[in-house]
Amino acid sequence: MATRKNFLFIIFIFFLLCLFVIYVSYSYILKKQDELFYNLYLNTNDKIIDTTKNSIDDKKHTTLAIALSLSKNENLYKYLENEEYEKLDFNKIIDELKQYSKYKNVWIQVVNKNAIPVYKSWTKEKVDISFRKDLQSTLSNPKVSTSISMGIYNLSLKARTPIYGYKNEFFGVLEVISHLNSVIEDLKKDKIESIVLVNKDVNKVLKSPISNIFINDYYVPHENANSYFVEYLKNNDVDKYFNMKDFIVENGYLITNYNLFNEKNEKVASIINFYDLKNIDDSHISSIKTQNILMIMIVLIVLFFILILYLYTKYTNKIKSQEQKNRLILDSQSSIVIITNGENIIESNKKLIEFFNDCKNLEDFKTKYKCICKKFVNIEHENYLIDTKYNGRNWAEHALYNQNTDFKVAIYDANQNLKHFSLKVSQLKDDNLIIATFTDISQEILEAEKEKNQQRAIFQQAKLNAISNTLNNIAHQWRQPLSVISTLTSGMKLKKDLNILSDNEFKKSCDKIIFNTTKLSNTIENFTNFFTKDDINKVSVVEAINQIIEFLDSIFERNQIVCHFKHTNDVLLDCDSNSFSEVILNIFDNSISALIENKNINERYIIITLEGKTLSIIDSGNGVDETLISKVCEPYFTTKHQAFGIGLGLYVVEDFFIKTLNKKIELKNEDFVYEDKKLRGLRFTIEFD
């Protein structure tokens, strides 16, 4: 039990160690994986930011290039110098840009040096530009510049360049205006979905929005905005995305933020970029994770092999220790113990070699005898095994197959003394080998034989005593009929001699003689039947007791003994009816003797009751001395006068009920009342359960 607890403890510790290794390793893998994913997303975020910045810068440079090229047009100088503003027309250039480039939304504006818009490609109306701080700055400090700002229509990217004449005189500013649609389209080509959100504070300038798309109070300036992501921002906290300073990973997207600032470095808008995580190559992370898992498995396998090696070493040491212990245990046994398959001996203790002292060791024994069964002696008894086949099984297999049978073997020792052994067998688990234990019972056999002879003598004496009592009973029951027959024949002879015997009187006397001879014959028949029913069958307790009472009727009558039998049911026993009648007769005989010796004729009673499975017989013979009651069932012990027996009756009673029928019997002195008389006697109680 302790070894098993130690084994379970080791397994438990190993299991905890494995769990710890798995937990630590898995935590490390998750942490490492999170770091790798974070770095991967951070790099992807940087690339998206760079791509967005490059796309916007490209749009700025292109817009500025258009502005620079247009500002060098000689006609532009002349028209501004001569104030021929109506001749200004860039629509053809705008149309060509729409047709041959990706810039579909380009507008051109010319403002003279007096800050008066003299040309607008999108309208003929005179528009106040006082709110345009960037344009005012260029007029006051003429230089090339770009900016992003909110106009009355939309968020625009603007490129401005001053207009100088031939003599370097300042005429005004040419401004090219474009939207962010092409930027959004460029980002889409890189699988980036973008939504531009205009700052709430600058929305006040907006008068006629082009897209008419709002998310809460944020204006979306491009009409090609993806409706799914517009709804996504609406359904989630849009402020979180507008103001985020780092990327966010959620719902399968990497979400980044690129802020747009005006010339005063004020945040004008924010480009919210959505990048599908499926487009990010994370195979190297999976590979690293797989490698780490393999490393964990290798560590666990190594730990497992260490455990196996430890347990194997411990087990082999235990086996060696157990073998030594088994050898000590085997050799310490007083019985011969062998391990065999029934045909060859495999192992044994030293008692085998001590018994067969003509052999030096087990190998010597194997050489000489091969199997202990070769020494079995046939004493022709069904429970004594010999070296033969029993329904195809050898002696050991036969004993194993019938383990409930008390098998024995007889073997001659080195001095040719016949020794008897009891045989017990068992089989090793997961093995065909049989352990056979031979216990020397030679002394018990001799004692049993001696006791059997003593029992035989005792029962023979008891039988003779029973025959003696029977003959006395026969003699008593014959005395009266014989006396009647003698009297009748003497009377008939005398009357015949006197010639006074009438035919009628002769007939009556003959009938009486026939009646009494019949009575004598029945008596013989009853006694014969009483002592010859010796077959084992179902014995009726009620019927047997009634027969005994009828058998003893003349004795009861002669000694004025009242015998009363009361029963509420019957009990059937599997036994020899003759033996049962004999032991009950012995109880009655004991009671009759006690009543004749100890009681006057007015208080002689034998009361028999059968209730359920309990038979009770009590007499009024004053009982037995309490100091002797424990000895009354011993052989040859008697409280009777020598004339009444030799002290075997109650011994036979106890032996029959306890040893033969395995029933309980109890004897005790008891006071009782019968017919208003206070009486005392010995009660026999027999339990038939």
Q: In which residue are the tokens 């216990």 written?
A: 439
Cα distance between residue 92 and residue 98, in whole Å: 10
Q: Which of 440, 465, 483 is the last residue of a domain?
A: 440
In a domain, 458, yes or no: yes
One domain, residues 546 and 689: yes
In a domain, 375, yes or no: yes
**Structure-model confidence comparison of residues 99 and 126, the more confident one:** 99
pLDDT at position 632: 56
pLDDT at 635 over 70: no
pLDDT at 678 over 70: yes
Query: Coil, helix or strand for 247?
Result: coil
Torsion sign across C-alpha atoms 16, 18, 24, 30: negative
One domain, residues 602 and 479: no
- Measure CA 689 to chain center: 41
Residue type, 550: E
In a domain, 318, yes or no: no
pLDDT at 71 over 90: no
Q: Which helix (H) or strand (E) holds 441?
A: none
In a domain, 43, yes or no: no
pLDDT at 508 over 70: yes
One domain, residues 109 and 89: yes
In a domain, 686, yes or no: yes
In a domain, 155, yes or no: yes
Q: 338 burial class (0-12, 13-18, 19+ CB within 10 angstroms)? A: buried
Kindly report the pTM of this predicted structure: 0.47
One domain, residues 371 and 473: no
In a domain, 64, yes or no: no
Cα distance between residue 475 and residue 228, in whole Å: 131
Q: What is the pLDDT of residues 515-548, one digit of tens each?
A: 668 756 655 665 555 555 445 578 899 998 998 8
Task: CATH number of the domain at 616, please.
Answer: 3.30.565.10
One domain, residues 386 and 343: yes
Q: Which helix (H) or strand (E) holds 233?
A: helix 227-235
What are 18's two structure tokens?
């494995």
- 275's CB contacts (< 8 A; 6+ apart) are 44, 48, 191, 192, 193, 253, 254, 255, 256
One domain, residues 502 and 609: no
pLDDT at position 584: 87
One domain, residues 509 and 603: no
Q: Which of 556-560, 599-603, 605-609 has the lowest mean pLDDT?
A: 599-603
**Binning pLDDT at 50, 70 and 90, where does residue 50 land?**
very high
One domain, residues 467 and 426: no
Domains: count for the chain: 4
Where in the sequence is the domain holding 384, given as residue range(s)?
335-440
One domain, residues 563 and 665: yes
Cα distance between residue 545 and residue 528, in whole Å: 17
Q: Residue length, the chain? A: 689
Look up residue 225 and give its DSSP letter.
-
Torsion sign across C-alpha atoms 588, 592, 598, 603: positive
pLDDT at 636 over 60: no
Q: What is the pLDDT of residues 220-249, one digit of tens each?
A: 988 888 999 999 999 998 999 999 988 999
Q: What is the pLDDT of residues 405-443, one digit of tens each?
A: 889 899 988 788 888 999 988 886 666 788 889 998 888
pLDDT at 316 over 70: yes
In a domain, 400, yes or no: yes
Q: Which of 440, 474, 502 is the last residue of a domain?
A: 440
One domain, residues 498 and 570: no
Q: What is the pLDDT of residues 652-665, one digit of tens each?
A: 787 788 778 888 88
One domain, residues 470 and 420: no
One domain, residues 353 and 496: no
Cα distance between residue 526 and residue 479, in whole Å: 16
Q: Which of 61-70, 301-310, 313-322 has the lowest mean pLDDT?
A: 313-322
pLDDT at position 195: 94
* Arithmetic mean of pLDDT over the chain: 82
Q: Which of 161, 179, 197 is the last residue of a domain?
A: 179
